[in-house]
A = this chain, B = another copy of it.
Amino acid sequence: MKLYTFFRGSSPFRLRIALNLKGLAYESIPVHLGKNAHHRPEFGAINPQQLVPALVLDDGQVLTQSLAIMEYLEEKYPRPPLLPPDATGRARVRALALLVACEIHPLNNKRTLDYLRSGLRREEAQVMDWYRHWIADGLAKLEAMLAGTPGTAEFSHGDSPTMADCCMVPQVFNAQRYQCDTAPYPTVMRVFGECMRLDAFDRARPEKQPDAE
């Protein structure tokens, strides 16, 4: 399998964790978002959405959208599972993953921040206020979902990592990179700490990727 990735991108980071947890080998193909490599026609031919990640299967089929790819991996390589066995548990894990993927990340990704700068002509201080506003809003929601809930244990759901953790960890990396205060989210940060003790999460870190700068 070939993974079109970018070391700093949050969505490819999710998928690197999932691939590592499943013990699946893949070839990294870097797409430099900072240099707009995702807008080149060669990449558009692979993913018309011009977004990373994209996973190319050995038969040449291309999968896109990190959560859809994780579901595919879960179906094809069920061990170790990244979803719990019960339907309401799976619904909870997917909701936690989607809370990050739909309510936080889209507001803070590169193209959104770029449009605040160029389209709305906002100064950098306002762009950073925007960034931190949505991190605070989203991580508070995540903390409320995790804290004091029976499903939460060593990890976001139960005692082994799930898709929820694959999505949460890259988001916390982003929060730390932009000096957001994470003190109000003690459950999120405790689970983050548990995740980062695992080799599968550690090897997926941005600075350990071949394209890291």
Contact = CB atoms under 8 A, between A and B. Distances in A.
Contact-size category for A: 35 or more
Chain B CB within 10 Å — which of A57, A91, A112, A115 has the most? A91
A130 B141 contact: no
Interface in A106-143: 106-107, 111-112, 115-116, 119-120, 122, 126, 129-130, 133, 137, 141
Contacts of A137: 111
A57 B133 CA distance: 33
A69 interface: yes
Contacts of A72: 87-88, 90-91
29 contacts: A48-B145, A49-B145, A57-B88, A61-B88, A64-B95, A65-B94, A65-B99, A65-B102, A67-B102, A68-B91, A68-B94, A68-B97, A69-B91, A72-B87, A72-B90, A72-B91, A75-B87, A76-B87, A101-B101, A106-B107, A107-B112, A111-B137, A115-B133, A116-B120, A119-B129, A119-B130, A120-B120, A120-B122, A120-B130
